[in-house]
Chains A and B, each alone.
Chain A
């Protein structure tokens, strides 16, 4: 919804909140229901109502638990029944500088200041550990905004008695805890307050009258930040940045002005601004964001522009280049299809408002930031929160290469008469075995972002996945696929829960980048083998339809399972006897985990 996309107008969100909520709830489409516990050190009412808007807009339907006023510590240490039975999917501890209890004073000795710091940290750490032990779900913790007065002036920043210095040390310690604990995330209040303007943020009237820890107009930006973390945790991040070229990646029109005529590099302020934007885009690529071109241009000119010696980007940084004269909405759809992704995974960056509008209107779900003036491009994309990084795995770093290898495979496929011959020519080998700790992050990530080849669309938090990993009640398989073009990484996950003499397959997913490679058959072969080893006679599969997973509706049938039940909503249950099962996959060499 346009009102909720950066740069949103906080006044509009505050004033029209009820109407916005009504409009969002009227929208069609599937929603992920998530339970969010907000443990506040100040009033949370409007924070929660605003957070709800941003989450609804991202397809997440939140249910909230709010602690009684400022009861964050009591709730964390001694959860009341209402919180215990709520069973949150994520906990947000909303504390601010107003909740620091052990401020140093100028009369404290060095040692007393150290003791106060330890006491304050100890209080928070005790909460985190209590919550982690009890709920095993992601925890979001605010760090602290800078203090709203400086008793020592500039000295406040470095003197151990200064609140500014004390706050910075607390934030440093919080950051260290975050770095050392999976499932623990900081909401960077320090940055948000600075960005908003600390003086306005820290309006003492808001605290003294309403017990809000920040001024009212700062609430939307603050709630947006928390929403971005939650969206990222539950797999709502964007994956692709589709870029226009002329006046987006460089100044001028390469087809008219020629390569030597476009503005990019270090010569002028404008050229430098485009260079800075290209450098930013390149850093996004390093983060695992796929870059594509979506430009009305001759391909030859597009490549020439991207090869400009003063540019930061190179043609090979792009996974896919669509430089033609088709309408852009069509090119965006084709881009999504070519990458086996949904259009809603795409951010479309174009300086031309008319192109933005056509894509926005024709391809629902694509995020189209307002790019006005090259000097503002980075902010428009960076602050939209769509690439918020909560987990970061080695696979993210390699994603661009993997998709490019896919393009090479496609080119090869065209030269084979027989598909089986093509598959054999790929010289595939897979590692299929029980989970390894090193892959748990990637496995969890896959459960949260795979939508299409996903039979049950069951999502897992890091904590839930660890519980599965440590339980003897499951048969777990991950599959990693390598071929002559490269390593695809972990691409398939199956989790089955033992149920008497049967195995209930609670999760079966596969990344779409390895569709039609018979990888699913290799997974099934291994699953049947494991079941037989453990005396499990029946494999029981479930298919729960969603708007996105139609492609696997008939998967179990194609495997030779028999349908045993069908619900009115289209859910189906399938069974296969493992005793007479004969392996099906003939084109992939399979091995197990490396022996230590």
Chain B
């Protein structure tokens, strides 16, 4: 799976979770850039991403991811 495809699919997940079709992700996007992205929604987001890519994040990764780019990197490593 190439980075472009991962970003396209991630973008769709973000749009649905935050119910906001205007979201456009970049590797630098962080929680500060999306209004509703608080700690509670973060769980929903992680769960939806995991399901989309049939993979699980490790606990350590969830707490250390700094932006969407890092998230995409982990997915690329692990996704089936």
- B24 contacts A by Cβ under 8 Å: no
- A336 contacts B by Cβ under 8 Å: no
Once the chains bind, are B63 and A17 in contact (CB under 8 Å)? Answer: no
Once the chains bind, are A19 and B43 in contact (CB under 8 Å)? Answer: no
Task: Tell me the complex Cα distance, A217–B54, Å.
Answer: 13
- A175 contacts B by Cβ under 8 Å: no
**Chain A contact surface mostly:** helix
Once the chains bind, are B59 and A17 in contact (CB under 8 Å)? Answer: no
Task: Tell me the complex Cα distance, A209–B58, Å.
Answer: 11
Once the chains bind, are A14 and B63 in contact (CB under 8 Å)? Answer: no
Task: Tell me the complex Cα distance, A217–B44, Å.
Answer: 10
Once the chains bind, are A209 and B59 in contact (CB under 8 Å)? Answer: yes
- A46 contacts B by Cβ under 8 Å: yes
Q: Knowing A22-B19, A216-B43, say if A15 contacts B48 (CB, 8 Å).
A: yes
Once the chains bind, are B19 and A14 in contact (CB under 8 Å)? Answer: no
Once the chains bind, are A208 and B59 in contact (CB under 8 Å)? Answer: yes
Contact count band on B: 10 to 19
- B51 contacts A by Cβ under 8 Å: yes
Which residues of chain B in 1-54 are interfacial with respect to chain A, using CB atoms and an 8 Å cutoff?
13, 16-19, 40, 43-44, 46-48, 51-52
Once the chains bind, are A216 and B59 in contact (CB under 8 Å)? Answer: no
The 0/1 profile, CB within 8 Å of B marked 1, for residues 1-43 of chain A is 0000000000100111111001000000000000000000000
- B79 contacts A by Cβ under 8 Å: no
Chain A's closest residue to B63 (CB) is A209
Chain A's closest residue to B13 (CB) is A15
Neighbouring A residues of B18 by C-beta, 8 Å: 18
Contact of A212 among B13, B43, B63 (CB under 8 A): B43
- A266 contacts B by Cβ under 8 Å: no
Min C-beta distance of A220 to chain B, whole Å = 11
Once the chains bind, are A205 and B43 in contact (CB under 8 Å)? Answer: no
- A210 contacts B by Cβ under 8 Å: yes
Min C-beta distance of A214 to chain B, whole Å = 12
Contact count band on A: 10 to 19
Once the chains bind, are A15 and B17 in contact (CB under 8 Å)? Answer: yes
Once the chains bind, are B19 and A18 in contact (CB under 8 Å)? Answer: yes
Once the chains bind, are B48 and A19 in contact (CB under 8 Å)? Answer: no
Once the chains bind, are A17 and B44 in contact (CB under 8 Å)? Answer: yes
Neighbouring B residues of A217 by C-beta, 8 Å: 47, 51
Once the chains bind, are A14 and B62 in contact (CB under 8 Å)? Answer: no
The 0/1 profile, CB within 8 Å of B marked 1, for residues 207-233 of chain A is 011101000110000000000000000
Neighbouring A residues of B43 by C-beta, 8 Å: 46, 210, 212, 216
Neighbouring B residues of A11 by C-beta, 8 Å: 48, 51
Neighbouring B residues of A15 by C-beta, 8 Å: 13, 16-17, 44, 48, 51-52
Min C-beta distance of B11 to chain A, whole Å = 13
Neighbouring A residues of B16 by C-beta, 8 Å: 15-16, 18-19
- A283 contacts B by Cβ under 8 Å: no
Once the chains bind, are B47 and A14 in contact (CB under 8 Å)? Answer: yes
15 pairs, CB–CB < 8 Å, chain A vs chain B: A11-B51, A14-B47, A14-B48, A15-B17, A15-B48, A17-B44, A46-B40, A46-B43, A205-B59, A208-B59, A209-B59, A209-B62, A216-B44, A216-B46, A216-B47
Instruction: Knowing that A14-B48, A15-B44 touch, tell me 6 more A-B residue pairs with CB under 8 angstroms.
Output: A14-B47, A14-B51, A15-B48, A209-B62, A216-B46, A217-B47
